[in-house]
């Protein structure tokens, strides 16, 4: 049950619709399977943890305590999920500049700040 005061936007800086869209793009890449040794951490929880890391600036140890997951596991989840987000979004939203003139435009924009 979700707390009535819980606002997903404030927690991960993303609307529920945008979260679901992002999850649909990266879900298969970050889904793990249950084993006899451990139960999997769901793709939604992996994405939530990663977005919380990015939105809050908390360190990984703090997230480890909050999610009750080992610090090393938190580190691996963040790394894997960020890579999956990059793969899903790089061509459509975050593509690198293609031409030298693009780099020059970016440089001028940063210099004017």
45 with 26: CB under 8 angstroms? no
Average pLDDT over residues 72-76: 96
pLDDT at 3: 45
Whether the CB-CB separation of 52 and 58 falls below 8 Å is answered with: yes
- Give the torsion through C-alpha atoms of 11, 17, 73, 42, to 10 deg: 130
* Residue % of the chain over a pLDDT of 70: 91
Q: Please say whether the beta carbons of 60 and 75 come within 8 A.
A: yes
Here the CATH number for the domain that contains residue 31 is 1.10.10
Residue 1 lies in a domain: no
Domain assignment present for residue 2? The answer is no
CA distance 109 to 106: 5
Domain membership of residue 99 (yes or no) is yes
Range of the domain at 26: 8-111
28, 81 contact by CB (below 8 A): no
**pTM for the whole thing?**
0.76
Taking a C-beta distance cutoff of 8 angstroms, is the pair 97, 106 a contact? yes
> Is residue 3 one of the residues assigned to a domain?
no
Residue 7 pLDDT = 54
Residue 102 domain flag: yes
Structure tokens at 25: 């793009």
* Separation of alpha carbons 12 and 8, rounded Å: 6
Domains: count for the chain: 1
């Amino acid at each position: 049950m979700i707390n009535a005061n819980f606002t997903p936007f404030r927690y991960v800086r993303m609307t529920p619709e945008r979260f679901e869209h992002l999850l649909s793009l990266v879900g298969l890449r970050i889904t793990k399977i249950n084993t006899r040794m451990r139960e999997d951490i769901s793709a939604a929880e992996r994405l939530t943890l990663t977005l919380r890391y990015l939105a809050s600036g908390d360190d990984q140890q703090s997230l480890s305590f909050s999610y009750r997951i080992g610090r090393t596991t938190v580190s691996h989840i963040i790394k894997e999920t960020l890579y999956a987000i990059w793969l899903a979004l790089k061509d459509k939203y975050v593509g690198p500049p293609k031409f030298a003139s693009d780099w020059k435009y970016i440089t001028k924009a940063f210099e004017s700040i």
